[in-house]
Amino acid sequence: MPDVSPTRWHLAHTTWFFETFLLKSTPGYQVFHEDFEYLFNSYYNTVGEQFPRHRRGQISRPGLPETLDYRRHVDQHMMELFSAGEFDGRGHVIELGLHHEQQHQELILTDIKHVLSRNPLLPAYQTPTPMASGEGGRLEWTSVDEQLVQAGHADATFCFDNERPRHKTYLQAHELAHRCVTNGEYLQFVNDGGYRRPELWLSLGWAQVQQERWTSPLYWLRRDDQWHEFSLAGLHALEPNLPVCHLSYFEADAYARWAGCRLPTEFEWETHAAALSMEGNFADRLTARRLPIHPRGAGGEIPSKPAAMFGDVWEWTSSPYTAYPGYQPASGALGEYNGKFMCNQFVLRGGSCATSSDHIRPTYRNFFPPEARWQFTGFRLAR
């Protein structure tokens, strides 16, 4: 799976970012190893050649000890940078490096999960923890009238360049579901022949279903004539009230069509989310619970308004990933961070159970190709 990288690579790459974009321009700094510029460059053409992505898993050196040495070396120099206060004008780059590392922390988890899932032993990464039982409950809808709204990041606090500039856009009248689609609901789609009915799918989606022989979301497995789900805690019976997770844009779109609804646009999503507090099931808040669950209100109830928009699962929107009007990428290599990927991808919002709580924003735009399933992705309906 060419999108998956070893943990060792993620550790080296996030450190490479600080070395490359901050330390290298610091007078007197000596690179840790001259070959690491090439080995751990993910996709920055401006920096130089990149070791091919699909071969990252074939590199056994540097091993873990040397990789940790690399990290310590760079961390130490960064600390010196902080002490000397010598980073004026590059504060944004440091902040970017930290957010970048948070993104890779999430990828470490998704990649480990994928590697373990491809092992017939289906090993568990961590011990199982008791899960909230919860109920899906009847789907409730919140209406919004048509109106002109603002979208995009509003102030000078940190954001990625693709969240700017703030701009006007026209929202159509619509309704948004109060929660994400659950395993139980998605199972109805499966049992109604969802994966065998081409009329429910985009053309590219139906081609993908046939070519890859999809019959369910990525980590669902049939065992003893029952559906199970593979998680970082190993294989367990499918929990009907969890948000369905690890499915592609194609599957979310097909379910929505089957249900007579649609996916929300990113601007519909943002308008609702901006009104909420950013509470949810994140990587740090809920200890070791790498499974998405519905947060409950204070009295244990499932909120009826759109809630749980943050954490749990990244929510697919119907919006292709494009540039906001007036978008300007940063100059130099850091301009390669987001803008050059604005093609053939769809926007996801809200963060997941593997995202850090201080990483997400209502305006945060994640993006993946429509066939990607190895991220913690789910969706909610709109109509």
Nearer to a copy of itself, 83 or 203 (CB): 203
Among 28, 89, 120, 300, binds a copy of itself (CB under 8 A): 120
Please count the CA atoms within 13 angstroms of the CA of 309 that sit on its side-chain side: 27
Identify which range of 8-16, 221-229, 238-246, 342-350 contacts a copy of itself by CB under 8 A: 342-350
> Interior CA angle at 65 toward 59 and 70, to 5°?
85
Among 65, 130, 143, 148, binds a copy of itself (CB under 8 A): 148
Q: In what order do the strands lie in the sheet with 234-237?
A: 220-223, 226-231, 234-237
Identify which range of 162-170, 230-238, 283-291, 303-311 contacts a copy of itself by CB under 8 A: 162-170
Token pair 């609901």 in the structure block, residue:
185
Rule CB under 8 A: say whether 199 interacts with a copy of itself. yes
Rule CB under 8 A: say whether 213 interacts with a copy of itself. no
Token pair 């850091």 in the structure block, residue:
334
First to last CA, the chain: 35
Q: How far is the CB of 308 from a copy of itself (least distance, A)?
A: 25
Site string for a copy of itself, 267-296 (x = CB under 8 A): ------------------------------
Count Cβ atoms within 10 A of the Cβ of residue 26 and give its class: 0-12 exposed, 13-18 middle, 19 or more buried: middle
Among 189, 201, 364, 376, binds a copy of itself (CB under 8 A): 201
Residue of 379, 376, 364 whose CA lies nearest to 110: 376
Identify which range of 24-32, 51-59, 81-89, 277-285 contacts a copy of itself by CB under 8 A: 51-59
Q: How far is the CB of 134 from a copy of itself (least distance, A)?
A: 31
Identify which range of 89-97, 120-128, 234-242, 286-294 contacts a copy of itself by CB under 8 A: 120-128
Rule CB under 8 A: say whether 255 interacts with a copy of itself. no
Identify which range of 135-143, 201-209, 211-219, 287-295 contacts a copy of itself by CB under 8 A: 201-209
* Residues in the chain, overall count: 383
Q: Could you tell me how many residues of this chain bind a copy of itself (CB under 8 A)?
A: 52
User: How many separate helices (H) and strands (E) can be counted in the chain?
Assistant: 8, 13
User: Residue 233: left (phi > 0), alpha (psi -120 to 50), or beta?
Assistant: alpha
Rule CB under 8 A: say whether 150 interacts with a copy of itself. no
Rule CB under 8 A: say whether 31 interacts with a copy of itself. no
Rule CB under 8 A: say whether 30 interacts with a copy of itself. no
Token pair 């913690």 in the structure block, residue:
376
Q: Rounded distance, CA 60 to CA 79, Å?
A: 29
Whether omega for the bond prior to residue 165 falls within 30 degrees of 0, making it cis, is yes
**What residues contact residue 264 under an 8 Å CB cut-off, 6+ apart?**
174, 176, 315, 317, 318, 380, 381, 382
Where do contacts with a copy of itself occur on this chain (CB under 8 A)? 35, 38-39, 43, 45-46, 51, 55, 57-62, 115-116, 118-121, 123, 146, 148, 167-170, 172, 198-199, 201-206, 250, 318-320, 322-323, 325-326, 335-336, 340-344, 370
